[in-house]
Structures are given as C-alpha cells and as structure tokens.
Structure 1
Amino acid sequence: MLKLSQAHYDALRAHGEETYPHECCGILLGHVGAEVNEVVDVMRAGNTRTDSAHNRYHIAPQELIKAQREGRKQGLEIVGFYHSHPDHPAQWSTTDFAEAHWFGCSYVITAVAQGKAAVTNSFLLRGTSEEDKQFVDQEVLVLS
C-alpha cells in the first residue's frame, strides 16, 4: 500500500496538469515499510527529456542526490517516484518498466486527459535484480 495525505496526492496531480502536454516527474520521500510505503514529502523534479518530453521523463542524478540529502536531514528516504501520462492511461509502459530500478519503491502514474488529472495508480517494483523485477499493482490510501 502507498499511503499519502490529500495535500500530497493533490500536489502530484496538479504537477501533471501544470506540465501538460509534457510529462511531469518527482520524488516521494517518506518511510518504507514491509507492507506500506508512507509519503511524508513530495519533491518536484524537472523532466530533463528534451527529445520526447510528451511521453518520457528523466530525473537528473543531481536531483536524486539532492532528494536523498534532504530526506536524510528529515530522517526520510526515497519511497517512490511519480510522473504523468498526458492523454494516456495511468498504466506503466515498457519504457517505464525498463527504466525502473529502485526495488521496493512505489511508481505513481497519473493520467492527464486534455490537461485534467484523471486516474492515479501506483505500482510497487518488486524483485532483487533486473532479471526478476516486476511491477505489482499497489493500493493507494489518501488520508484526509
């Protein structure tokens, strides 16, 4: 399960609307648990993809390092990532899967239809290596 506040949920969805028709992306900081990834902070990241920003995203390594440092200061860790799918379903693509490497992390995708956030889904990356990794559907619990 992925647990986050209504404010964090709204923030990542709004980010997708703001960057439409390009994909947005960001980092989720919080606590990783055996059954629950809990989001405590949402950090926006810049999409560094210039060749196909409408259907791909990339977070610069410097932003990942910055997020890790910020997290450590607060006693948090990276629990996941989010991005949007402009005019596409909130399902992971073969590219999303190929570029997912953070085992135990949640990968949140929001479908943004004609500029409006629609469905938001989360997928947990399970496995121990590139050979056995898999995405599994993850329940999203939004707290008021």
Structure 2
Amino acid sequence: MNLKLEAALYRQITAHLCAAYPKEAAGLLLGTAAGASWDASRMLPLTNKFAHAEQYHRYLITAEDMLEGEDHAATFGLDVVGVFHSHPDSAPQPSDYDCQHALPWYLYLIVSITAGEPASARAWQLREDRSDFNEAVLEIGPAAPARPNSSTFE
C-alpha cells in the first residue's frame, strides 16, 4: 500500500495541524485509489469536534464531516481516500484510540507536531480484522507543475 501526495499538499496539511497545536487536528484526504496505489490530491481541513478539554490527545470527525468530505470530493471527481491528523509531541504511530475508531477502507496519515512544527509523518491502514494497523509507504513528492486549484480547499 502506497500513499502519494505532493509536497505542496503536505505543507497545507501540516499548516492546518500546526495551527491547532498543542491540540490534535484532523482533516480528510481526497484523491484516487487504484489497487495498492493511493494518490491524495486535495485536503479538507476539519474542526476537531471532540470535547475541548480532551482535544490535546483526541480528535473527532463526525458523520456530517464525512458527508461534507464525500460531497466536496465528488465535485472534483475524487473520493475520500483517508484521514490525516496530528499527534502533538508524540510519535506518528496509531494509538489504541486510533485503532478503535479507524475504518479499514481509509488510509491514515499521522503527523507528529513537536513544539508547533512538523517533525515526521507516517501512513497507516487498519487491518481488515481491526486488530492493528499496517504501515503504508508514504511518498511525499515535489510539487507538480502549477495547476489551478489542484490541492487547495475551496
């Protein structure tokens, strides 16, 4: 399993996550999936809906957020292919909470934010039996030639 995204999109993702630091933040990855190769070309930043006091180590994406993501993706001929979220001051690997709330048909991009700056990122997919995650290959490529509105939220 591979997750590919352009460097410009990764910068947009990390800007959204860093803006929420020291709390967790999240959003949706929009793109295409073909076999083991998943390409994210846009992102939809979301507001963390978890109780305010718990946002430092939890995020919540609601069913309404998912519907908004699906509608937004469809306008560009894309699908929701994954979820991204931050782990403030901790490693970019899934927590038990992440495992309990993930869905096996999405990829999960977890970005470690340390002292308000992006530190590292890893991608994961929940196993079909929901017992744990398998790591996906994360490919963050250089920016492609300029395309209007290629990876921004509108």
Q: What number of residue pairs does the alignment pair up?
A: 139
Name the counterpart of 2:135. 137
Cα distance in 1 between the residues matched to 2:73 and 2:43? 11
Unpaired runs of 5+ in structure 2?
Answer: 143-154
Pairwise mapping of residues 58-69 of structure 1 onto structure 2 (< 5 A)? 58-69=60-71
What secondary structure does 2:134 align onto? strand
Shift of 1:60: 2.2
- TM-score by length of structure 2 reads 0.86
Shift of 1:125: 2.3
Shift of 1:9: 0.8
Task: Find 1:81's aligned residue among 80, 83, 87.
Answer: 83
Cα distance in 1 between the residues matched to 2:55 and 2:69? 22
Moved more, 59-68 or 37-46: 59-68
Unpaired runs of 5+ in structure 1?
Answer: none
Does the CA contact (< 8 Å) of 1:2 and 1:38 recur in 2? yes
Cα distance in 1 between the residues matched to 2:133 and 2:35? 16
CA deviation profile, 1:98-141 (whole Å, cap 9, x unmatched):
0002x2311011111111110111102231xxxx1241111111
Name the counterpart of 2:151. none
Name the counterpart of 2:38. 37
Moved over 3 A (4+): none
CA deviation profile, 1:20-73 (whole Å, cap 9, x unmatched):
000010000111121111101111001001240000000122121011011112
Cα distance in 2 between the residues matched to 1:75 and 1:3? 18
- 1:98 aligned partner, one-letter code: Q
Cα distance in 2 between the residues matched to 1:66 and 1:17? 23
- TM-score by length of structure 1 reads 0.92
Cα distance in 1 between the residues matched to 2:106 and 2:62? 18
- 1:119 aligned partner, one-letter code: S
Shift of 1:17: 1.1
Name the counterpart of 2:4. 3
Cα distance in 2 between the residues matched to 1:81 and 1:33? 17
- 1:42 aligned partner, one-letter code: M
Does the CA contact (< 8 Å) of 1:107 and 1:122 recur in 2? yes
Name the counterpart of 2:148. none
C-alpha RMSD over aligned residues: 1.1
Does the CA contact (< 8 Å) of 1:107 and 1:123 recur in 2? yes
Does the CA contact (< 8 Å) of 1:27 and 1:43 recur in 2? yes
